[in-house]
Amino acid sequence: MRLVHLLRAVTVEFGLRQTEFAARNGMHPTDVRALICLLDAARAAEPATAGLLGARLGLNSAGTTAVIDRLERLGHVARVRDEHDRRRILLRVEPAAIRLGREFFGPLIDGVLGVLDSFDTAERDAVRRFLTATHAVFASEPRP
């Protein structure tokens, strides 16, 4: 249980940092989670649609549209036509939003990477396996 409690402590601290970032930048905490979802989709080469975002955030269509509208008004997200299917609208995180996130979260990420640098390959693999399996447990449980 000590590892579960440590994982919870890390997620709580990360959530507090997300809330602080949102407050400093005139956003709702859900907006920050939306940006993270969109960045994750981009890294995975997944088409970032409103439907994908709504599903990942557990929002209905109206809630998803409200989040996208807020992020677009703030200049953090752009709606762009899909090059392969001009009927489909994709969501793109703007470079300025990425820079803003890097300025705030960069030192934390650099600190975590520094910690990981002190681990050997087998230790990093064990951490990766644990986090991947833990994520799978949470992802497999239906949301309330």
Nearest to 54 by CA among 46, 44, 45, 65: 65
- Buried (b) or exposed (e) across 99-117, using 16+ Cβ within 10 A? ebbeebbeeeeeeeeeeee
**For residue 84, what pLDDT is reported?**
87
80 φ, ψ (degrees, to nearest 5): -130, 150
Contact 64, 57 (CB under 8 A): yes
**pTM of the complete model:** 0.89
**Cα 58 from Cα 82, distance rounded (Å):** 24
State the Cα–Cα distance between residues 89 and 48, nearest whole angstrom: 9
Task: Dump strand ranges (E) for the chain.
Answer: 77-81, 89-93
Distance of alpha carbon 108 from alpha carbon 85, whole angstroms: 38
Burial class (CB in 10 A: 0-12, 13-18, 19+), 143: exposed
Q: What is the pLDDT of residue 86?
A: 85
Q: What is the pLDDT along the chain (144 residues), one digit of tens a residue?
A: 999 999 999 999 999 999 999 999 999 999 999 999 999 999 999 999 999 999 999 999 999 999 999 999 999 999 999 888 888 999 999 999 999 999 999 999 999 999 999 999 999 999 999 999 999 998 887 776
pLDDT at 141: 79
